Structure 1
Amino acid sequence: MSEAKAVFEAMLGRFDADEADDMEAVFQFDLEDDSSYHLVIDDGQCNMGEGEHDDPTVTLEMDLQILKEVLSGELDGMAAFMQGKIRADGDIMLATKLTQIFPK
């Protein structure tokens, strides 16, 4: 299993259905140093897919290390975005909820 896939598998285990209540969203992650993955949140469920989703709600581009630092709390996601370490396209406000939906 790739390191990136392991990170997304861990995210699935941390999914907080209460925080994602009533949310219908597709988070697309384009990792510069690995593959693309997407997380589909619907009806209190979260499913992972490899590759690109055809209709993401928000697309986040970064390298794997930045994703790991944001998820661990080492790096503030908004600060990383402002520093150009994360590029976002689509519903950017949704991206700010990532650490609430997948708490450490």
Structure 2
Amino acid sequence: DVIAKMLQFMKEISGENEDLKEELEDMEIAISLVFTDADKKFWLTVKEGALDYGEGDIENPSFTLSSTLEVGAGIVMGEVDATSAYMAGDITVEGNLQDAMAFQEA
């Protein structure tokens, strides 16, 4: 699955890149990712500088990001600007927008 591979890549990079580790160090969030055209849900957590992920639902997410698989993959890979996609209506965010913005900036 392409999203699982991308999330695994992000997890590996976050564990190896010291600058990214530092940025994530003070962040504690749980994200629910919903891909509307693929009937897939993933979760992503950041805690103490470590990123983890899995398939399915997560309890009490900081925010839920919903998009098509293509837009979501673009955001995960850094090819699509999440703010622009949000303004264009290509993604929806439910929950803590401050956490969503902080995660995008990391």
TM-score of the pair, normalised by structure 2 = 0.82
| 2: CA distance, partners of 1:72 / 1:46 | 15
| 2: CA distance, partners of 1:26 / 1:82 | 23
- Show the counterpart of 2:95: 90
Q: How many residues align?
A: 100
- Tell whether 2:57 aligns with 1:52: yes
SS in 1 for 2:54: strand
| 2: CA distance, partners of 1:14 / 1:32 | 27
Alignment check: 8 A CA contact 1:71 1:99 kept = no
TM-score of the pair, normalised by structure 1 = 0.83
Which blocks of at least 5 consecutive residues in structure 2 are unaligned?
Answer: 15-19
Deviation at residue 76 of structure 1 after TM alignment: 1.5
Deviation at residue 99 of structure 1 after TM alignment: 4.1
**What do residues 12-50 of structure 1 show as CA deviations (whole Å, max 9, x unaligned)?**
123222111221110110111331111111112111121
Change (3 A) 1:33 1:81: same
- Show the counterpart of 1:13: 12
- Larger helix proportion, structure 1 or 2? 2
| Relative contact order, higher structure (CA 8 A, sep 6+) | 1
The CA RMSD over aligned residues, in Å, is 1.6
Which blocks of at least 5 consecutive residues in structure 1 are unaligned?
Answer: none
- Tell whether 2:67 aligns with 1:62: yes
Percent of aligned pairs sharing the same letter: 24
SS in 2 for 1:79: helix
